[in-house]
Amino acid sequence: MLSPSTFLSISIFLLLFSFELSNAVSTTKIGQGYRLISIEESPHGGLIGLLQVKQKTYTYGPDIPYLQLFVKHETQDRLRVHITDADKKRWEVPYNLLAREQPPPLKKSLGKSKGELFTASEYSGNELIFSYTSDPFSFSVRRKSNGQTLFNTSSDESDPYGNLVFKDQYLEISTKLPSSAAIYGLGENTQPNGIRLQPNDPYTIYTTDISAINLNMDLYGSHPVYMDLRNEGGEANAHGVLLLNSNGMDVFYRGSSLTYKVIGGVFDFYFFGGPTPLAVVDQYTAFVGRPAPMPYWALGFHQCRWGYHNVSEIEGVVEGYKKAKIPLDVMWTDDDHMDGAKDFTLDPINFPREKLQAFVSKIHSRGMKYIVLIDPGIATNSTYGTFIRGMANDVFIKYEGKPYLAQVWPGPVYFPDYLNPKTVSWWTDEIRRFRELVPVDGLWIDMNEVSNFCTGLCELPKDHPCPTGKGDPWVCCLDCKNITKTRWDEPPYKINASGTHVPLGYKTIATSAVHYNGVLEYDAHSLYGFSQAIATHNALQGLIGKRPFVLSRSTFVGSGAYAAHWTGDNQGTWLNLKYSISTMLNFGIFGMPMVGSDICGFYPQPTEELCNRWIELGAFYPFSRDHANFASPRQELYVWDSVAKSARNALGMRYKLLPYLYTLNYEAHISGAPIARPIFFSFPNLTEAYGLSTQFLLGSSVMVSPVLTMGATSVKALFPPGTWYNLFDMTKTVVSKQGHYLSLNAPLHEINVHVYQNMILPMQRGGMTSQEARMTPFTLVVTFPSGATNGEAKGKVFVDDDERLDMKMEDGQSTYVEFYASLTNKMVKVWSQVEEGKFALNKGLEIEKVIVLGLEGNGVGLQIEVDGFPLKDTSATFIENTPSHVEKLEGNNQKRGMMVVIGGLELSLGKNFAMSWKMGIKG
């Protein structure tokens, strides 16, 4: 859905930033620091310390005199450092939203200490060591294995930052960083220079309805977490740092240091020891919540548009895909199906219930799904059931005791308060009622930063209608008072959210508004989308009894356990095509692996060439959806013949790769492993890959190298050392000795997708829907290094019935198979090891083909055995492989990898198998 800011943002922000900036003090040292006056061991594990301010200062308010420090190695590789007011409970991310250990109760600053005095200067865990200095207090975190300092808050005279500062509305802390540190994360942000953070770019973290076309600004989500990857002496180590805090903050990354300036809450740091990028994400998601498992169909292709006028139009779209033979799994509507943009209603003229139900049953019978949008704003319409029941249950956010009035698409609205348990019950019931009206398969929660077209405290206008009826529903039509009276609206330190010259509540809820239990919007603002995603996910799960699908625009730490994400409103430009990769990769690091951008761009109209290139890239986004705005001409993939051709090619490959993608979805759910990952995840030692944001990996071994520039018919791509096989034509091989850039052909309809050596890739035949594709027989692609005489390869596949809620192995509802291959002196062996084979056996899943790449020798006199019996030799074919990009082959230049294709197999996926043969020798 369009945000008004999509159109207006550029001009608004130019205007804002032309004012003199008030935070020119950003390099001034604010406080005098604290001294540690006691530290002792907690009876429940960890250390508890008491800090006293050295000298009171008053910039941004008075210092809090005493702080309680709590430090604990919570797991082998997770260290927590929690600092809060020792005398008074402060706001923290609610423990019921993000479950974690409660720090020990406050001891009060003047209370007598009772624990064991802690006398050591270091507190050591398995992988991380915490140490501190007492006066001024500072702490550092070191890695045990190599002594590297990961975090160090001490400050010298020469540093552009000072000591720890802790005031009611201003918290500051800094760390030094070595020049070797590559930093990733701190979003949500569109990063024109790629995934690696650039020193001195602004990193403000606060959820806003600022669209993805705005560079280096705080966008829809809040993720105050970074990964730090350092290559010292040829060996790379990664760790992660989360500051679990929902208040707005500016993070200043200067290359050699990083400073947090936060306007509330507490310091609640979590250090994740890694030491690989995958281990960091594993440890991070073990803490914030594992990514929600996605239903199988969600990995299919999705089509949406804001501006499908009626049921006939969406029927036409489904037919259009069918006729063009382009796969399609999910049809979406934005707010067009609604009556007057009101959630949970249907437009009686254009989307009448019977017609829509008939459409939904028809696509359901073909295995397809239907998803609709909902916004948080509930129209204040006295004849609207959802609103009436909301009022009766008192579910809305309030200002001075009355529901807070805002304006979004339907006009005047109130916002549900998802921190209130009564709101959650009401919301669940509204979803239940709606699903009785039309059985939607998932929900898309948009505008939940939360977006408001007005600012401040507003009333219904007495002298004009609202919306004005002039076709500009995004222009504020309420009568609003400028709220500057409270310190929650205009805090002493102004973060750079929507600029620094507007109130914090600019185009959202006034930050002095209150939630359930007196919680201030000031504190809970960035949790809105997160709390809504939890309520929506849990509602769908309870109602459908199946794995829910929720797509959320606004996200917070932990949202991945409940929802998928798309990168919001983008533009149909080549630059936006490129930016989509970095944002997607960042969300993998944030523990939200199900992510993608609007394919072909949300607005304005993409060129035909761009749309070709976008579907080629978008076919490999974890979440693959074409979406456009009503102001753009139609851009479904069948609209242009050339785009249709590229789509059949690229989506055709995606649908063949669905078993691999689904297995990645499973791995994401059990270990947090991103589905789409930066190249450095598999090649952490390869420093050239640290900033690489024009290519990415799916899982560990499938590399996507898209064309991102106009007019190009080739692409320059980095190939980490080893053999890479083109998935579209496996005879095309890249052998890279050291990790070089190579120029590859990329005609308009082709994208380069390569699979790395030592892999066994599970594929199927594909199909027009994921339901059709998943029943087809499997092919295993086994990759040895080109011309190898010895080697090993591995792979796996997870299959289950995606109707069930979780992905647990033990209930007989899933099968997990590991595949192995070995090559020893021309002897090739391929075998499987099945866990819980029953599910695959019941479904009759079979392997029909095994393709082995990179072998030396030929097929002369070759005898294949399967499970000890010879195979009819008619079923095998041998193809001489002609490496297209042999950079340098070691030793004998004549070595050519052979491709052996063994077809006509009927191996049960659910049963162990073993096959073997010896390669022939020419002559």
Ligand X SMILES: *[C@@H]1O[C@H](CO)[C@@H](O)[C@H](O)[C@H]1NC(C)=O
Positions touching ligand X (CB under 6 A) are 17, 21, 23, 131, 140, 142, 149, 152, 154, 156, 176, 202, 216-217, 234-235, 309-310, 312-313, 339-340, 381, 383-384, 482, 484, 496, 684-685
**What is the C-alpha to C-alpha distance for residues 665 and 299, in angstroms, rounded to an integer?**
9
When the beta carbons of 792 and 865 are compared against ligand X, the nearer one is 792
When the beta carbons of 319 and 880 are compared against ligand X, the nearer one is 319
Largest CA distance in the chain: 96
| Catalytic-labelled residue, pool 127, 329, 569, 609 | 569
SS3 state at 327: coil
Q: Are 606 and 614 in contact (CB under 8 A)?
A: yes
HSE-CB of 161 using CA atoms within 13 angstroms:
24
- What is the smallest separation between the CB atom of 397 and ligand X, expressed in angstroms? 21
When the beta carbons of 26 and 813 are compared against ligand X, the nearer one is 26
- What is the smallest separation between the CB atom of 22 and ligand X, expressed in angstroms? 8
Cα–Cα distances in Å, from 393 out to 132, 398, 416, 423?
A: 51, 13, 11, 7
When the beta carbons of 685 and 842 are compared against ligand X, the nearer one is 685
489 carries an active-site annotation: no
When the beta carbons of 360 and 715 are compared against ligand X, the nearer one is 360
**What is the C-alpha to C-alpha distance for residues 811 and 157, in angstroms, rounded to an integer?**
62
- Residue 690: both structure tokens together: 């640290």
- What is the smallest separation between the CB atom of 598 and ligand X, expressed in angstroms? 22
**What is the C-alpha to C-alpha distance for residues 333 and 321, in angstroms, rounded to an integer?**
16
Quickly count: other Cβ atoms within 10 Å of residue 880's Cβ. Answer: 10
When the beta carbons of 156 and 463 are compared against ligand X, the nearer one is 156
Matching residue, tokens 């600053």: 109
| Catalytic-labelled residue, pool 92, 446, 802, 836 | 446
Matching residue, tokens 């898309």: 444
- What is the smallest separation between the CB atom of 132 and ligand X, expressed in angstroms? 10
Q: Are 448 and 514 in contact (CB under 8 A)?
A: no
329 carries an active-site annotation: no
**What is the C-alpha to C-alpha distance for residues 535 and 814, in angstroms, rounded to an integer?**
28
Helix (H) or strand (E) holding 317: helix 311-324
Distance of CA 845 to the CA centre of its chain: 31
SS3 state at 224: strand
802 carries an active-site annotation: no
Which residues are CB-neighbours of 172 under 8 A, at least 6 positions away? 30, 31, 161, 162, 164, 165, 259, 260, 261, 262
Which residues are CB-neighbours of 99 under 8 A, at least 6 positions away? none
When the beta carbons of 256 and 882 are compared against ligand X, the nearer one is 256
- What is the smallest separation between the CB atom of 679 and ligand X, expressed in angstroms? 12
- What is the smallest separation between the CB atom of 142 and ligand X, expressed in angstroms? 5
Quickly count: other Cβ atoms within 10 Å of residue 435's Cβ. Answer: 17
Bridge partners of residue 596, in order along the sequence: 566
**What is the C-alpha to C-alpha distance for residues 326 and 339, in angstroms, rounded to an integer?**
32
- What is the smallest separation between the CB atom of 705 and ligand X, expressed in angstroms? 20
When the beta carbons of 159 and 865 are compared against ligand X, the nearer one is 159
When the beta carbons of 23 and 28 are compared against ligand X, the nearer one is 23
Q: Are 614 and 642 in contact (CB under 8 A)?
A: no
**What is the C-alpha to C-alpha distance for residues 734 and 726, in angstroms, rounded to an integer?**
8
Backbone phi and psi for residue 259, each to the nearest 5 degrees, phi listed first: -125, 130
- What is the smallest separation between the CB atom of 419 and ligand X, expressed in angstroms? 28
| Catalytic-labelled residue, pool 449, 489, 626, 848 | 449
Bridge partners of residue 416, in order along the sequence: 396
- What is the smallest separation between the CB atom of 483 and ligand X, expressed in angstroms? 8
- What is the smallest separation between the CB atom of 216 and ligand X, expressed in angstroms? 4
Of the candidates 562, 593, 552, the one whose C-alpha atom is nearest the C-alpha of residue 281 is 593
Regarding beta strands 267-272 and 624-626, do their DSSP bridges make them parallel or antiparallel, or are they unpaired?
Answer: unpaired
Give the residue numbers annotated as catalytic, written as ranges: 446, 449, 569
